[in-house]
Amino acid sequence: MHIKIFEAETMNQALLQVKREFGPDAVILSARSVRAGLLKGRRVEVTAATDGPNVSMQTPQGSAAKPGSPDFPAPRPWQAVEAYRLKPSPRGRSASRPAAPAARDEAPPAQVSATVEGENAALRRHLCHQGVGSELARELAAHPALIQPVASPEDTGRALAAAMAECGLACERIRIRQGRATVAAMVGPPGVGKTTTVVKLAALARNRLGAGRVGIIAVDNARLGAVEQLLNFAAVVGVEVRVVRKPAELSRVLGQFRKMALVLVDTAGVSVADRHDILGLKNFFQRCRRKVEMHLLLAASTKEEDMRRMIEGFGALAFDRLLFTRVDETCRHGNLLNIMDRTQIPVSYFSQGQRIPDDLKIATLEKLAGLVLRNWSEGAREQPDESEVPRWMTG
């Protein structure tokens, strides 16, 4: 194996040098922006290596970790896959969730029957049309704040968000801890938008935290094309990117990034049907002996049945958050409510489009309510009764 540092004025020029000298199978180890001199401005420095059976990642000269890196805490308690398995619900829904307050199961009949007449019934029909499960739609529409006429669509949205909260739906973004870098990893199936989401998160965080406070680690065995997007982004906005292939390398780079406020980890897409790769990814993070906040990315346009399958398949990772991408590619968002209701796992962000970082939004129940209430005032009363709605829409 041979390691070499390439310098050029732009990232594309540096990558061209790598391809020319090492060929298409070169592995990118790191990329950073360096100062060439007082009058020459800044240049791009890329460290690359030829691939081989025993590639050992090396740190570029001058960026080695200082002696005495802090010890890593004990591994996080990994939950079993069964912790996220969706099971038949005794309450009649197609899947279960952690126990909710008893008041929901013991609601007075009069409160539920209030959905039969008036504005509340129209809202219930609209929620079912959006794909919300029939029982969840009935519970949401029976909320006291939604039974009475509301003054504006904004008031309806706020009332619906309050009803969602009482049903156990929640949103929670990445929280920056004091004194130690927060590490957040994006995991999920191929093509769901993990790398694009990492770039958006890094840009958003850099704007708020400042230069030198955000780092990216790519856990990927792919070649140049897989990390080129991250490298180009790093050169433009000044976010440092490292590529790792082994748990020991991840631990070392996290030690070098310990003074940063946020470290984002981009992972290779894993098929939900490939249990071996999922367990390998779990073992990869478990062996680095560092608390990593896991975000499972799901495309909002994915069928609910497939979402459930992905949640079960990725359950071995004991993910902490859900993150919905491609929110703009569907006009019905009831499946998001159903998944949040059945898993009781908070959602961190909504992603849509390619604009960085404008197309990434911090998830809130108000935003979620806005998604399912689109066009409600114009079309709710013309929608069919729930008995006319196909079963696949009502859960």
pLDDT in tens, 272-296: 999 999 999 999 998 887 889 999 9
* Burial class for 235, CB neighbours closer than 10 Å (0-12, 13-18, 19+): buried
pLDDT at 62 over 60: no
How, if at all, do strands 41-49 and 262-267 pair?
unpaired
| Residue 65: strand, helix, or coil | coil
Burial 21-56 (b: 16+ CB within 10 A, else e): ebeeebbbbbbbbeeeeeeeeebbbbbbbbeeeebe
**Which letter, b or e, does each residue of 251-288 get, where b requires 16 or more Cβ atoms within 10 Å of its Cβ?**
bbbbbbbeebbbbbbbbbbbebeeeeebeebbebbbeb
pLDDT digits (tens, 9 = 90+) for 206-215: 888 888 899 9
Lookup: tokens for 157: 């949205």
* Residue of 85 and 341 predicted with greater confidence: 341
C-alpha to C-alpha distances, 278 to 172, 196, 273, 317, nearest whole angstrom: 25, 21, 9, 8
What type of residue is 8? Answer: A
The mean pLDDT value for 327-335 works out to: 93
pLDDT, residue 226, reads: 59
pLDDT at 42: 66
Q: What is the percentage of the chain residues whose pLDDT exceeds 70?
A: 70
pLDDT tens, position by position, 13-32: 777 888 888 887 776 766 66
Give the Cα separation of 221 and 50 in Å (integer).
Answer: 13
Least-confidence region, from 75-79, 124-128, 180-184: 75-79
**Structure tokens given for 26:** 């070169």
The total number of residues shown for the chain amounts to: 395
**pLDDT over 70 (residue 381):** no
What does the pLDDT average to over 356-367?
Answer: 92
Whether the predicted pLDDT of 218 surpasses 50: yes
| pLDDT mean across residues, the chain | 76
Q: What is the mean pLDDT of residues 82-87?
A: 40
Minimum mean pLDDT among 141-150, 241-250, 364-373: which range?
A: 141-150
Contact 47, 1 (CB under 8 A): no
Burial (0-12, 13-18, 19+ Cβ within 10 Å), 330: middle
